[in-house]
Structure 1
Amino acid sequence: MGVTRLKRKDRRNKVVAKNQVQFLKLGRNLETGSRSKMPAGSQIVKNNDVLDKLVSESKK
């Protein structure tokens, strides 16, 4: 039995649907919970701490 190819419209719909799912996964808001918490050793957390200290020192 031969492999059937998708028609151009169907191939496009498949790609568009895949891209929409990826966009929604990346753009959704993080929900509160253990999975969305940053690890304490994360570089982002360290950077935010340093920035907070600088801001508080500049306000004094």
Structure 2
Amino acid sequence: MAVTRLKRKDRRNKTVSRLEVQFLKLGRNLETGSRSRESATSQLAKNNAVLAQIEAQAK
């Protein structure tokens, strides 16, 4: 059976939806004590720590 190629519009929709889901996962508010708590080693946590350090130095 031959492999069918997606049309350009469908390929774009697939990519956009994948990126959208990724963005929503990263930007979601995580409540303290929730089961989906963010790990301390995640890139987002590291970024927030660096930003907080820079803010403290600026004051």
Q: How high is the TM-score relative to the length of structure 2?
A: 0.56
Larger Rg: 1
Q: Which runs of 5+ in 1 are unaligned?
A: 56-60
Query: Residues 15 and 37 (structure 1 numbering): CA distance in 2 closer, same or farther, change over 3 Å?
Result: closer
Write the distance in 1 (CA, Å) between the matches of 2:7 and 2:14: 11
Write the distance in 2 (CA, Å) between the matches of 1:37 and 1:15: 25
Larger RCO of the pair (alpha carbons < 8 Å, separation 6+): 2
The residue matched to 2:31 in structure 1 has which SS?
coil
Q: Does residue 21 of structure 2 align to residue 21 of structure 1?
A: yes
Shift of 1:37: 6.9
Aligned twin of 2:3: 3
How many matched pairs? 43
Over 6 Å off, 4+ runs: none
Q: Whose helix proportion is higher, 1 or 2? A: 1
- Aligned-residue Cα RMSD (Å) equals 2.9
Q: How high is the TM-score relative to the length of structure 1?
A: 0.55
